[in-house]
Amino acid sequence: MDKVMLKQLLFHGSWLVFPAIVWLLWRWRGGGQRAVLVALLLGCGAFTWARFIEPQLILVDHTELRGTGADTRVALLSDIHLGVYKDRAFLQRVVQRVNTLDVDAVVIAGDLTYESRPEQLHGLFAPLAQLRAPTYVVLGNHDQQPPGRDLDKPLREALLAHGMRIIEGRVITDVRGVHWAGLGDQWAGKDDPRFLRQPGPHRDRTILIAHNPDSAMQLRPGDATLVLAGHTHGGQIRIPWLYRNVIPSAHGFDRGEQVMQTGHGTVRVFTTRGVGEIGLPLRLFNPPTIDVLQLRP
């Protein structure tokens, strides 16, 4: 059995929790061991929430960030992971929610796919064409190399066809005078920031998009005033103390705003918890979230 089939079996087999709940209630009425039945019912209830309810929520968090060198309002999302667990219908809901927000730009910080097939990509991501604000995108590890299959070329083609602006390795300035730059994925070895050090008006006033927040640790003073990232999922299943052991960051990035000390100085990073799932099709205490960031000079 290949890994995709195993994930599909896990995803669809999880519906068996409902007949399990019915059986437990039947045992309850039959006078079974009440303490054991209560524990099992609570476990089934928590699993039902984490599998069927919380992953389908779409929250919006608002944060003001001062001292960024920019004056703009941004919708940040990441880790959509369309494929095994999330589909086009979910992305359609995300796009509709973003379009209700008063933002000047949308940022997608990588990992758009999860075990998707190349021929699916154009249709899967068609809802992105409905985004009303300019949208800036970088790719992530599941898009470019293992543990996902390499979808780099067909994914870029699909995103460009739907009007997305892929900005890895370059700096562009929008109509509001905000300088946007993007790094490729760190695990794929595509996050070299040296292009940021070329002379230009963007120096000291760049908002950098990276999938993996660890990419920020190689930045030097003046490369960027703020890094927007994803990748961590905020732990996805955010059980206190335990979730930190599964966050894929070598430098302690989690979610929200963090200021980290590097070998060159300090770096300011805002990491979104994302809207999709990998591994287990579960979210707990950590619902899918669109971060609306009010950036101030």
Summarised one tens digit per residue, pLDDT across range 107-132 is: 999 999 999 999 999 999 999 999 99
| 10 shares a domain with 30 | yes
Q: What is the pLDDT of residue 215?
A: 98
| 92 shares a domain with 160 | yes
- The mean pLDDT of 139-159, rounded to a whole number, is 90
Q: What is the pLDDT of residue 191?
A: 97
In this structure, the strands spanning 113-114 and 82-83 are parallel
Q: What is the pLDDT of residue 205?
A: 79
Q: How far apart are CA 202 and CA 220, in angstroms?
A: 14
CATH code, domain carrying 245: 3.60.21
| 213 shares a domain with 97 | yes
| 86 shares a domain with 112 | yes
Instruction: Tell which of 55, 71, 87 closes a domain.
Output: 55
Q: How far is CA 123 from CA 120, 128, 129, 158, in A?
A: 6, 10, 11, 8
| 201 shares a domain with 87 | yes
Does the pLDDT at position 295 exceed 90?
yes
Report pTM.
Answer: 0.96
| 160 shares a domain with 89 | yes
- The mean pLDDT of 46-75, rounded to a whole number, is 97
Report residue 16 as tokens: 């068996």
**pLDDT band at 171, cuts 50/70/90?**
very high
| 172 shares a domain with 115 | yes
**pLDDT band at 235, cuts 50/70/90?**
very high
Q: What is the pLDDT of residue 147?
A: 74
| 48 shares a domain with 178 | no
Number of domains in the chain: 2
Instruction: Tell which of 55, 70, 92 closes a domain.
Output: 55
**pLDDT band at 63, cuts 50/70/90?**
very high
Q: What is the pLDDT of residue 1?
A: 56
Q: What is the pLDDT of residue 158?
A: 98
| 64 shares a domain with 49 | no
- The mean pLDDT of 231-254, rounded to a whole number, is 96
Instruction: Tell which of 17, 38, 55 closes a domain.
Output: 55
Q: How far is CA 142 from CA 52, 111, 185, 190, 214, in A?
A: 23, 5, 9, 13, 16
Does the pLDDT at position 14 exceed 60?
yes
Tens-place pLDDT, residues 248-284:
999 999 999 999 999 889 999 999 999 999 999 999 9
Domain membership of residue 43 as a residue range: 3-55
| 233 shares a domain with 217 | yes
**pLDDT band at 149, cuts 50/70/90?**
confident
**pLDDT band at 201, cuts 50/70/90?**
low
Q: What is the pLDDT of residue 33?
A: 81
Q: What is the pLDDT of residue 4?
A: 86
Percent of the chain at pLDDT > 70 equals: 97
Does the pLDDT at position 32 exceed 70?
no
Q: What is the pLDDT of residue 51?
A: 98
Does the pLDDT at position 151 exceed 90?
yes
**Alpha helix positions (H), 117-256:** 121-124, 141-144, 152-161
- The mean pLDDT of 235-257, rounded to a whole number, is 96
Q: What is the mean pLDDT of the chain?
A: 94
| 115 shares a domain with 139 | yes
In this structure, the strands spanning 135-138 and 113-114 are unpaired
3-state secondary structure of 256: strand
| 230 shares a domain with 131 | yes
